[in-house]
Amino acid sequence: MSASEHLLVLDRVYAGYGKMSILNGTTANIHRGAITTVIGPNGAGKSTMFKAVFGLLPVRSGSIALDRREITNFSPRQLLDAGVVYIPQGRNIFPELSVRHNLEFGGIALSDQATLASRMAAIMQRFPMLREKANAQASTLSGGQQKMLEVARGLLLDPKLILIDEPSIGLSPLMVQEVFSILKDLRDKGVTILLIEQNAKQALQIADYGLVLEQGQNRIGDTAQKILADPRVAQLFLGGGLAEPERVS
């Protein structure tokens, strides 16, 4: 595969908190226009990797490139301008503001009001639930609806890459399916998605590729189907042996 088919490249990245090193030479090639699921034990460095990519944690050594352009230690604002959106764990909305105002905050980096208005209209078209509840307080939305609001807000910047960390936390199985369906739809429209998910098996089933992190290093990188079928991965991270994986539609 040529380098141009990799949107995001991490090359021997070291990062951590204080004196503690979490990423210990992490190397990863993230395929353009695909969903890549990152799995691994607690403390493996999954969320730390996202924070290092998005400029929330300094990279001590190594490099990160987006579209073959060095972005190591860019600020979050620079990364938003470059087309990277980060949706962290938990709820990250303004609960007392309306759905519409929450969306508008997502476009705060846009200086062109006409572009913002056009993208707001497109978002409302894509997410009918948000259009119907545009004037409601965000706190009145269900957990799944709030997660959709976060995703929709990120889309206002027309991102190349979305980093999304544990989107299913606190959601019903039905809402998880709906969020995953949105992610697949975005992938089909050319957006590259890097996903951390507590339900590793289900997340790999909707993914194109997978990464297995352990002790801050990429131990396995392959297609999601091959990772699902790998007995080592099944035993360690997916709850034992697996039958033939079934794709989530």
pLDDT computed for residue 109 by the predictor: 72
Q: Where is 55: in which H helix or E strand? A: none
Its pTM stands at 0.88
pLDDT computed for residue 247 by the predictor: 41
Spans of the chain below 50 pLDDT: 1-2, 240-249
Q: Is 186 helix (H, G, I), strand (E, B) or coil?
A: helix
Are the beta carbons of 107 and 156 closer than 8 angstroms?
Answer: yes
pLDDT computed for residue 239 by the predictor: 58
d(CA 219, CA 26): 9
* Sign of the torsion angle spanned by Cα atoms 95, 159, 184, 241: negative
pLDDT computed for residue 49 by the predictor: 97
Question: How many CB atoms lie under 10 A from the CB of residue 70?
Answer: 11
